[in-house]
């Protein structure tokens, strides 16, 4: 799943380095997180969680903060992460 997401973002942003969100150990069921990431000079400058519940949003936010791209300009990207039971 994240490999497909990385491929899509790579085509839009150039070379992309991503960290997968980890499945929260205290989650009983899956969940979905929708977030808007603002990239500036290749780094995630801000994250806006548009939809999702704890503990999934914390896991996604932690992973998104580590994402990097080689794009020189600014870009806003919508990211959807689906968590299913492990």
CATH number at residue 6: 3.30.2420.10
Q: Are strands 74-83 and 68-69 parallel, antiparallel or unpaired?
A: unpaired
User: Count of domains in the chain?
Assistant: 1
Q: What is the pLDDT of residue 85?
A: 75
Distance from first CA to last CA of the chain, Å, rounded? 13
Q: Tell me the pTM.
A: 0.78
Q: Cα separation of 41 and 37, whole Å? A: 13
> Do the Cβ atoms of 34 and 20 come closer than 8 Å?
no
Length of the chain: 86
Instruction: Give the range with max mean pLDDT: 3-7, 8-12, 30-34.
Output: 30-34
Domain span including residue 67:
2-83
pLDDT digits (tens, 9 = 90+) for 16-28: 788 889 888 888 8
Q: What is the pLDDT of residue 44?
A: 94
Helix, strand or coil for residue 64?
A: helix
């Amino acid at each position: 799943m994240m490999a497909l997401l990385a491929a899509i973002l790579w085509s839009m942003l150039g070379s992309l380095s991503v960290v997968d969100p980890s499945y929260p150990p205290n989650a009983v069921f899956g969940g979905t997180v929708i977030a808007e990431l603002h990239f500036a000079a290749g780094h995630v400058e801000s994250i806006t969680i548009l939809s999702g519940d704890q503990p999934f949003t914390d896991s996604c936010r932690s992973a998104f903060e580590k994402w990097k791209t080689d794009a020189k300009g600014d870009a806003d990207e919508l990211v959807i992460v689906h968590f299913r039971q492990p």
